[in-house]
């Protein structure tokens, strides 16, 4: 069993699942196509789900289970996922158990596989490919009492929801941001104007790498007045839109929004425009960011290329760790907050839908935390105040 990419004539890509005879698994292919084109999910989402389903079908095959009725044994699947290594060319790998055995997959990956399995089984029920009874085997009816207060709503009554039966406890991961010093070091390590613009679009505008790679030249209105372009938004800005792009760039936000930019981004854009024209003239793709230094010249950069660029810049700058695109986005959100930006301003600038969405992006600068501690009066100050 394996996940397999499907490149369509339109230039878009979807993912499917092939069995050991390289035949498409029909129900998996049907669900993944529904997600990609019926629900407008990102290609990377269907890629992740396809990989999870390939593991599920492999487990069913190796343990003699039918995929439609294996839901009661998902607890055993969790154990299998934790200790079963990937298959090799010499046949299935041997499961190694016992104290001290290194897990083959961590908790987050196991939960990702379980999410894809629940999605497939729920879809199979909806299209009459599996019995409805399996829903009670993968979900339980839960009330809202264990939700955070902000998620319970203003009413005093309980409401009910479906909660997954099978889920492993994930260790809480540290969420980190790029420091201002790291961003500056990466900016100074750039060898050309295009790469400097990319660093600023990530760290100074706060776009995701898929949104950066998906920008078109027509999205960039960098004049003080853009009415001549048919746009009434004042000041320099870029329009962030979700599209089906040939370079597989994807905006996670369904909603299009306008992002104001400052003079640093405008200056970097002007320098990049001159650099691009010197190399390509009036040619090249309508995408903003294109290949200038390797073939095919003028082709749009991919989101993966932007991630690789960040890795190279971190090494070239001599940083002690990798600083990925999303760490720069967190730095942007945190800097807006540190500068006095309200939560609704951060939410709007990050292009997020829910008021609570910016919270993971707000990581205060350590110097601000130090200043907050130093503002707290000492016990001696309380004592002197009492004596007076």
pLDDT score for 226: 86
pLDDT band at 152 (very low <50, low <70, confident <90, very high): very low
pLDDT at 158: 46
Backbone φ and ψ of 116, nearest 5°: -65, -35
For residue 4, pLDDT over 80 is answered with yes
The SS3 of residue 329 is helix
CB 31 within 8 A of CB 119: yes
Position 277 confidence tier, pLDDT thresholds 50, 70, 90: very high
| Sheet containing 237-240, strands listed edge to edge, beginning at the edge strand earlier in sequence | 220-221, 237-240, 257-260
Q: What is the CA radius of gyration of the chain?
A: 25
pLDDT at 151: 44
Answer whether 17's CB lies under 8 Å from 81's CB.
no
What average pLDDT does this structure show over 174-191?
87
How sure is the predictor about 374, in pLDDT bands with cuts at 50, 70 and 90?
A: low
Say if strands 139-143 and 13-18 run parallel, antiparallel, or are unpaired: unpaired
Question: Given this model, what pLDDT does residue 386 score?
Answer: 55
pLDDT over 80 (residue 220)? yes
Q: Contact, 240 vs 218, CB < 8 A?
A: no
Q: Detail the DSSP E strand segments found in the chain.
A: 2-7, 13-18, 139-143, 160-164, 220-221, 237-240, 257-260
Six token digits for residue 352 = 């997020």
Confidence of residue 370 (pLDDT cuts 50, 70, 90): low
The Cα–Cα gap between 103 and 107 comes to: 9
Are the C-beta atoms of 107 and 18 separated by less than 8 Å? no
Over 60: is that where the pLDDT of 245 sits?
A: yes
Task: Report cis status (omega within 30 of 0) of the bond before 296.
Answer: yes
1 pLDDT band (50/70/90 cuts)?
Answer: confident
What value does the mean pLDDT of the chain take? 82
* Window from 61-65, 304-308, 334-338, 356-360 with minimum mean pLDDT: 356-360
pLDDT over 70, % of the chain: 80
How many other C-beta atoms lie within 10 A of the C-beta of residue 107?
16
Confidence of residue 106 (pLDDT cuts 50, 70, 90): confident
Task: Please state, as a whole number, how many other Cβ atoms lie within 10 Å of the Cβ of residue 250.
Answer: 23
Q: Helix or strand or coil: residue 261?
A: coil
Lowest model confidence (mean pLDDT) among 84-93, 213-222, 255-264: 84-93
300: which strand partners?
290
> In whole angstroms, how far apart are CA 181 and each of 53, 185, 316, 323, 364?
42, 6, 14, 12, 15
Q: Is the pLDDT of residue 282 over 50?
A: yes
pLDDT confidence of residue 356: 59
- CA pair distance 78, 168, nearest whole angstrom: 8
In the chain the first and final C-alpha atoms are separated, in Å, by 79
Higher pLDDT, 272 or 368: 272
Q: Is the pLDDT of residue 363 over 90?
A: no
User: Which of the four pLDDT bands, split at 50, 70 and 90, describes residue 304?
Assistant: very high
Residue 15, strand partner residues: 5
| Distance in angstroms (rounded) separating the CA atoms of residues 301 and 248 | 10
Cα 370 to chain centroid distance, Å, stands at: 31
Confidence band for 6, pLDDT divided at 50, 70 and 90: confident
At 159 the pLDDT is 45
pLDDT for residue 150 is more than 60: no
Q: Between these two residues, 162 and 75, which has the higher pLDDT value? A: 75
Of the candidate ranges 73-82, 203-212, 252-261, the one whose mean pLDDT is the lowest: 252-261
pLDDT higher for 307 or 42?
307
pLDDT digits (tens, 9 = 90+) for 185-208: 999 999 999 999 999 999 999 899
């Amino acid at each position: 069993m394996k996940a397999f990419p499907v490149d369509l004539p339109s230039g878009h890509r979807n993912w499917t699942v092939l069995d050991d005879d390289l035949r498409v698994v029909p129900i998996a292919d049907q669900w993944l196509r529904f997600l990609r084109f019926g629900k407008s999910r990102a290609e990377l989402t269907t890629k992740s789900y396809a990989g999870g389903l390939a593991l599920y079908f492999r487990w069913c095959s190796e343990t003699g289970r039918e995929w439609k009725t294996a839901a009661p044994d998902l607890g055993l699947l969790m154990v299998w996922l934790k200790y079963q290594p990937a298959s090799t060319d010499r046949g299935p790998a041997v499961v190694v158990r016992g104290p001290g055995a290194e897990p083959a997959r961590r908790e987050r990956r196991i939960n990702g596989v379980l999410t894809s399995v629940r999605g497939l089984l729920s879809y199979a029920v909806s299209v009459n490919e599996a019995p409805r009874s399996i829903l009670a085997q993968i979900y339980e009816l839960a009330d809202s009492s264990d939700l955070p207060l902000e998620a319970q709503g203003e009413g005093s009554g309980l409401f009910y929801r479906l909660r997954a039966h099978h889920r492993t406890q994930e260790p809480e991961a540290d969420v980190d941001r790029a420091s201002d010093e790291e961003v500056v070091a990466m900016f100074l390590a750039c060898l050309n104007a295009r790469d400097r613009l990319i660093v600023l679009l990530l760290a100074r505008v706060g776009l995701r790498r898929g949104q950066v790679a998906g920008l078109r030249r027509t999205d960039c209105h960098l004049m003080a007045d853009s009415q001549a372009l048919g746009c009434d938004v004042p000041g320099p800005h870029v329009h962030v839109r979700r599209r089906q792009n040939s370079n597989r760039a994807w905006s996670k936000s369904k909603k299009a929004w306008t992002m104001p930019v400052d003079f640093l981004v405008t200056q970097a854009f002007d320098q990049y425009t001159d650099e691009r024209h010197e190399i390509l003239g009036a040619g090249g793709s309508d995408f903003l960011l294109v290949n200038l230094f390797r073939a095919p010249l003028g082709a749009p950069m991919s989101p993966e290329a932007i991630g690789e660029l960040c890795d190279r810049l971190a090494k070239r700058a001599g940083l002690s760790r990798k600083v990925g695109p999303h760490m720069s986005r967190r730095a942007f959100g945190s800097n807006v907050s540190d500068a006095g930006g309200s939560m609704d301003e951060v939410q709007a600038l990050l292009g997020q839908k829910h008021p609570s969405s910016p919270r993971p992006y707000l990581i205060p600068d350590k110097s601000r935390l130090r200043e907050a501690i130093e503002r707290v009066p000492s016990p001696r100050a309380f004592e002197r105040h009492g004596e007076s």
